[in-house]
Chains A and B, each alone.
Chain A
């Protein structure tokens, strides 16, 4: 299986920001280049934080899906 198709999931629902990005940084060393990570959160600043994290840490934010309310799915490629 190509590395880019490997997808890991980090469920950060219920966590208040900035906890999701901190979790993201903790898991980041385990990710291989090209690997995909799906992170789910429901914090009001989730989208903004994830976007900023990807931009600052030079990761690619592939998509951000709004599930309603504050719940969102982000897909990041490392």
Chain B
């Protein structure tokens, strides 16, 4: 409300006045005032009371016009104020929408007031700008959310996910492309890594298979000494499954072997400190590797074990040590076999030594036999030619006696060398010993008890009766002499059968049934180092003059000759047990007839005999001996000559006396040749070697007699007579 002075209304009116001062302008004013209530007109009027225009003009009509005009103006002003207000509110609302970020904000002026009209495009432009900003920021945000989600999936291992590249926001689209590119790169890298990992796993599997295939027990540890490989051979050796040991450290790999956690050879690759305390039997370093032999005493699960162990470090491509491998071989069987081989080797050496000695002794004895045969023969001839009262008779008999002792000695040497003539027949061991017991008991001293424990079975064997007696006697004497202070001497017999690898069987004995002879004493025993020498000829622990050293050698030789086996168990101070096994036979076989020994002078004859003998001394002695008792003799120095003489004799030869070994043709060949012409001629073979007879003639037919050298005159003439009589 304008009260006075230069109020806005007054100014308006003033302006209106000038504007409406013309009739053309007053007319509309009048029209606008028409119909208005007088009070409103009055208000318009009183407002302009102090208007200088009114005073200046003093024109009532004009006043009326002005009043009318003022009334119009007032009404117009009221209208305008209403429009402005509405527009103002619209603008205000628009600004509020903009302020809260409503992208749909749009200004439309309800009053269309000219004052606000210029704001419309401006505010709408701001709203459009804001809308664009909002849409872009929202697109950016959601695009970021999408990429964030994509990255999350990628990080979670979903390599197939792809980021969106269709965002209208260039940066977001590019970011999507970058993520996809990076994802592809990662995917390639991962694929390569997966391929490499697969190859690595394949290689690892291959290595594991190789380690598993290794026949030696093998394990591998890493740099932290954890087990990373444990092969099947090791599982079998220890009984520990791979799963129970893998990835375990702190010497877990030692438990299966040693029962406790302790360093193994694999722990001494770099440093040997403490190795000496672990009692490795052998240790050697070969470059980076080490080799050792370990002995593990028997435990609850295993017997004594010998292990051959090798350990070596493992390096990566840079030469950095990343672990180690250890290989273990159980050489217990090998060691046992080696030990057995060593024993067999010793036995073989011993047997070869005895065989060599036997060959030497046999050869010497054979030569001596020929000499002794001549000495005995000629001495016997002299004895027969001397008168009973001759002063030379005692000397000649001493010669004969000494030569017979010498012959006995050579017989022993031949027995040892297994070249003694054998007269094999079926013998019952129990009967043989029983027959000897009276004599044996007589030989025993007062302090020695003799027991004989015969087996209830028939113990038949193919043997030379005399040689078997010799064996019993020699063992008996040896046992008796081992008990100078008395004791118990036991002779036992029995039967045993061995089949397969019988642990009770003596070493080297073939499978089969055997007759067993045991002679044991409770005497002084034999020192272990002497046991293997007791069969050596001339080896004796007896005082000089009390033993020849041939007793056990003869036993050994006879046993060998009978395809038997001998075993000695002796403990110093406790006694000795001699066990002998002979092949057992079920029934008796044909035996070689032994000529009865008769006084040789009573066995005279006049038949014709061919003597084939290459040894001049022996041949001449035989010839003289046989001629001395009436026989006609042809002499042959070798086999060929013997055959020729028989052929030329025209059938006048009654008996052949042939040495088994002769030049050109041996005894059997001579006999065969002669028998083609005169198949009925009997023959006596002479030999110093039983083996020669067996090897060259096979088993002798019963009608042929063989005589062992040295040939005693009485035995010879008796055999000749017997052969001639038996034709």
Which A residues are within 8 Å of any B CB, using their own CB? Answer: 16-18, 21-22, 24-25, 28-29, 43-45, 48-49, 52-53, 56-57, 70
Determine whether B542 belongs to the interface, using a CB cutoff of 8 Å to chain A. no
- Interface-facing stretch out of B22-30, B70-78, B146-154: B146-154
Q: Are B134 and A57 in contact (CB under 8 A)?
A: no
Q: Complex: how many Å from CA A43 to CA B101?
A: 8
Is B137 at the interface (CB under 8 A from chain A)?
Answer: yes
In the complex, the answer to whether B138 meets A49 with C-beta atoms within 8 Å is yes
Q: How many A-B residue pairs have CB under 8 A?
A: 53
Interface SS, A side: helix
Neighbouring B residues of A48 by C-beta, 8 Å: 138
B124-176 at interface with A (beta carbon < 8 Å): 134, 137-138, 140-142, 144-146, 148-149, 152, 164
Cβ of B586 < 8 Å from any Cβ of A? no
Task: Flag B75-114 by CB within 8 Å of A: 1 or 0 each.
Answer: 0000000000000000000000000111110000000000
Task: List, in ascending order, chain A residues with CB within 8 A of B144's CB.
Answer: 22, 25
Closest to B155 in A: A29
- Say yes or no: A56 contacts B138, CB within 8 Å: no
Which residues from 150 to 208 on chain B have a C-beta closer than 8 Å to any C-beta of chain A?
Answer: 152, 164
The B interface, classified by DSSP as helix, strand, loop or mixed, is helix
Contacts A43-B101, A45-B103; A25 near B138 (Cβ below 8 A): no
Interface centre among B145, B146, B149 (most CB of A within 10 A): B145
Are B134 and A25 neighbours in the complex by a CB distance under 8 Å?
A: no
Query: How many Å lie between the Cα of A68 and that of B104 in the bound state?
Result: 17
Chain B residue numbers with a CB within 8 Å of A52 are: 138, 142
> Please, could you name 24 A-B residue pairs with CB atoms under 8 Å apart, sorted by A?
A17-B134, A17-B141, A18-B137, A18-B141, A21-B138, A22-B145, A25-B145, A25-B149, A28-B149, A28-B152, A29-B152, A44-B101, A44-B103, A45-B101, A45-B134, A48-B138, A49-B141, A52-B142, A53-B142, A53-B145, A56-B142, A56-B145, A57-B145, A57-B149
Give Cα A52 to B137, complex, Å.
Answer: 13
Interfacial chain B residues near A21, Cβ < 8 Å: 138, 141-142, 145
B residues near A24, Cβ cutoff 8 Å: 145
Cβ contacts under 8 Å, A16 to chain B: 101
What CA separation (Å) do A17 and B141 show in the bound complex?
Answer: 9
Of listed B101, B141, B149, B164, residue having the most chain A CB within 10 A = B141
Measured CA separation A29–B134 after assembly (Å): 26
In the complex, chain B residues whose CB is within 8 Å of the CB of A45: 101, 103, 134, 138
Shortest distance from the beta carbon of A45 to any chain B beta carbon, whole Å: 6
Q: Are A18 and B149 in contact (CB under 8 A)?
A: no
A22 / chain B contacts, CB cutoff of 8 Å: 141, 144-145
The residue from A28, A44, A49, A70 contacting B142, defined by CB atoms under 8 A apart: A49
Contact B101 A56 (CB under 8 A): no
Known: A21-B145, A22-B141, A53-B142. 12 other contacts (CB 8 A): A17-B137, A17-B138, A18-B140, A22-B144, A22-B145, A28-B152, A43-B101, A44-B102, A45-B103, A49-B141, A52-B142, A57-B146
In the complex, the chain A residue whose C-beta lies closest to that of B149 is A57
With contact pairs A45-B138, A49-B138, A56-B164 given, residues A17 and B145 touching in the complex (Cβ less than 8 Å)? no
Kindly list the 3 A-B residue pairs having the minimum CB-CB distance in the complex, ordered from nearest.
A18-B141, A25-B145, A44-B102
**Given contact pairs A29-B152, A56-B164, A18 touches B103 in the complex (Cβ within 8 A):** no
Residues of B within 8 A of A70 (CB): 100
Chain A residues near B152 (CB-CB < 8 A): 28-29
Task: Tell me how far the C-beta of B511 lies from the nearest C-beta in chain A, rounded to whole angstroms.
Answer: 81
Q: In the complex, what residues of A have CB within 8 A of residue B148's CB? A: 25
Give the chain A neighbours of B101 by CB distance below 8 A.
Answer: 16-17, 43-45
Question: B138 to A18, Cβ gap below 8 A?
Answer: yes
**What CA separation (Å) do A53 and B100 show in the bound complex?**
21
Contacts of A17 in B (CB 8 A): 101, 134, 137-138, 141
Q: How far is the CA of A43 from the CA of B142 in the complex (A)?
A: 15
Q: Which residue of B lies closest to A28 (CB)?
A: B149
Known interface pairs A17-B134, A29-B152; A44-B141 also in contact (CB < 8 Å)? no
- Minimum distance in angstroms from A42 CB to a CB of chain B: 9
Closest to A55 in B: B142
Min distance, Cβ B127 to any Cβ of chain A, angstroms: 12
* CB nearest to A59 among chain B residues: B149
